[in-house]
Every structure is written in structure tokens, then in C-alpha cells.
Chain A
Amino acid sequence: MARLEDIPEPTRTAVREIPCPAFETTPFVTGPRLSERRVAIVSSAALIHRGDKPFDFGSGECRAVPSSWDTSDILMSHVSINHDRNGYRRDLNVLYPIDRLRELAEEGVIGSVADTHYTVMGSTDPAAMVDAANSIANALHADLVNAIVLCPV
């Protein structure tokens, strides 16, 4: 898909009707030009380092993904089987574009790549992720990040 008509049932209905939070405000934070942005990725793929414990079912936790990790050691531990994984098997960047960000930084298109990125398990109730959002936000501010690419799977 993600054209809805291409997702098989019952996943299609589940995806279409999944409860989503209705945010009361629409914050819009501006910043400098792209060439002055420090960019981080937040992935919902429940990424882990090879050998680490996979995310628990329904976990609202947030984990760090250091830029220093070799991409060949990063695994997707998301519980859902509704995601295509065949692309990710060949190339992690199809869901976690760390090499693309590095290239853009080397070319000066973006300012820099954050030292640490973050990951959660996307099928978890957003209400269970408030603590995770707070801890991610604090860590990103500390790393002077001023642009985040959200990569839901």
C-alpha cells in the first residue's frame, strides 16, 4: 500500500479505523534553513541492536539508536506481521534513512546528523507513549536537534 485498497482485510479496516488522538492544538515550530538543521530520525519500527531484547508486546518504551551503530546490526523487532519486511531485508534505509541523512550532511544540504535517533513500537496506544515522547524531546533538545524526520512503518 499504503493505498488502502491494496491492504488485505482485516488489516485494511484495522488501519483505517485505528483510534488516533485528536490533538486540540496545531503547533508549528519554525526554524533556520535546512543547511543549518541538525536532523534526527524517530522510527516506529521497534529497532534494536542485534542481541538486544526485542520490544515487548504493547510496549510504550522508547529506545535510543546511536548514529554509531552499524546498519547491519540494526534489526526491526516490531510485533506486527502486516509490515512488508522484504525491502528492509535488503536495505535498512528503506525504513530508517540514516545513510541518506549522512550524504545530505556531507553535501551541506542539511547541517548535521544527530548523534542519537529514537525508536518506539508503532502499534502501541499513543497514550502509553507520553513518557517516551517527553524523554525523546528532552534528549533531542540536549543534542541541539532542530529537525525530526518521523518514519512510521
Chain B
Amino acid sequence: MLEERGLPTTVLALVLPQVEKTRPPRAVMTPFMLGRPLGEPNDPAFQRRVLMQALGLLERTNGPVILEHFPDDNPSWFDRPDWVPAVTLPAPGNPVTSQEWQAALQAELALVFPVWERFKARFGRTTVGLSGQPPEAWPGFATAFLDGELPTVPAHATPALALRFLSDDLKALYSEAVQADGGPPSARQIDGWFWRQTVAGQLLIALRKTAMASENNALKTVGGRFFVPAPFVPA
């Protein structure tokens, strides 16, 4: 659309069928995961290679459709066998009531917070911040949904959105804390740890089930599609 309006474009593409259908003027097809078109975090040299290949297409004249492939996987595409999570947590147990879930999440967060602080100090950033409420409020807010309540916060228009973005903040906090030390593990390692070994992951799976049984259609839709990735939805 932008090229039609007189602007030269180059694409860092992630999905080959979409590139083949839309046929953009210039594209570099990369082998990276959805969500990371530059491939590797905290690796300026690698990112620069990707970016320069895309920018280089702007000087070519053999259009109107140029498609190149970036040849390499990013280093943390591969699992690190020696990876140790920066957070050590007990097994999540089997909370049943909302009070048990709330207590379990509070206890777990108390272990995660100090490590999260280490991540923030090391990387100078955090992606926690979409929920519109401080982490201390999360356990009570999230577990209220298990009792059929529909709380919300001023930052979001509906309870469904409030819970959707709280789930994002929970994932952010844990993903950051578990990466506080060492080089990047693979995304699969982080996700496997979160969804299988933490109270927070188990709670989001429980909230998905609650949401899908809700009479609130927004919560039903959002909970079914936007809380738990397909590989971690219980059979």
C-alpha cells in the first residue's frame, strides 16, 4: 500500500505464503519465530546483518518483485541444554479454591519479584505495564474471576480486556525474571517452564477454562483465544 503511494519499502518477512500471495516489491524472508523479525535479542551484529540485507534491496533496480532469503537461524532458536532458570520455584501444587490460588500466586510472586528486579537492573527495561495495575494487585484481581466476579480497572473498558492484559503482564514478569542471568534460552524453554512449572501458568490455564464457561461473551471469546497458546492448552 505504501509503495503505491510513492514510498520505497523493504520487508523483513516471517511467513512465506503471505509474501508469495502479496508479492511486495522487496522482501527478505527470515527463518525466525513470529514476533522477532530481527531474530536475536541483544545481538546488534546479528540484527544488523538482517537489517542490512533488507536495506540493501532498496538499491537494486531489478524489480518489481525481489525476494531474498536470510540464510541463518538466530542463535537462541536452538535449546540450550545447560540452561538453568534464574528463578527456582517449588512445584505449583494443586490449588482448587480461589483463595488457594490467590495464596499460591502471592507466595510464588514473592520468589519471582527479587529476580525480576535483577532482570530490570541488567537490561534497563521491563515490558510489564499493560494491565494498568501493580503486580501486588494481580492475585486478588485474577482469582476473583474464578468465583464468577467480573472486576475491571480504569485502564480497560471491560473485565475481559483487563484480564487479557493482566495475563500479558504475568507472562512478561515471569519471562523476564527467568531470563535474569546468562544468555538467552530458547523461547520453547521459557514457555515450557512458564506453562508447566509455575502457579501463574497453571492459573491462566484455569482462568481460560472459567472464561470459556462464562456467560459474558467477551470474556468467553477473549479467554478462549488470548490467554493460553495452543501447545499448552490441556487436552
**A interface residue numbers (CB < 8 A to B):** 1-4, 6-11, 15-18, 20-23, 25-31, 33-34, 37, 39, 42, 50-51, 53-54, 71-72, 75-77, 79-95, 97, 99-101, 103-104, 109-110, 126, 129-130, 133-134, 136-137, 140-141, 145-153
Contacts and interface: CB of A to CB of B under 8 A. Distances in A.
B175 A86 contact: yes
Contacts of A90: 41-42, 123, 176, 179, 184
A9 to B, nearest CB: 7
Contacts of A91: 41-42, 123
Interface in B174-227: 175-176, 179, 184, 187, 190-191, 225-227
| In the complex, the 10 A-B pairs of residues with the closest C-beta atoms, listed nearest first | A83-B35, A28-B63, A91-B41, A137-B5, A28-B64, A2-B14, A26-B64, A84-B35, A20-B21, A133-B1
Interface string B144-173: 000000000001100001001100000110
Contacts of B184: 86-87, 90
A149 B10 contact: yes
Interface of B: 1-18, 21-25, 30-42, 44, 47-48, 51-52, 54-56, 58-59, 61, 63-65, 76, 123-127, 129-130, 155-156, 161, 164-165, 171-172, 175-176, 179, 184, 187, 190-191, 225-231
A147 B51 CA distance: 13
Contact of A148 (B4, B9, B31, B35): B9
B25 A86 contact: no
Given A11-B230, A81-B226, A103-B44, A28 B7 contact: no
B36 A87 contact: yes
B34 A153 contact: yes
Contact of B7 (A85, A101, A148): A148
Contacts of A141: 5-7
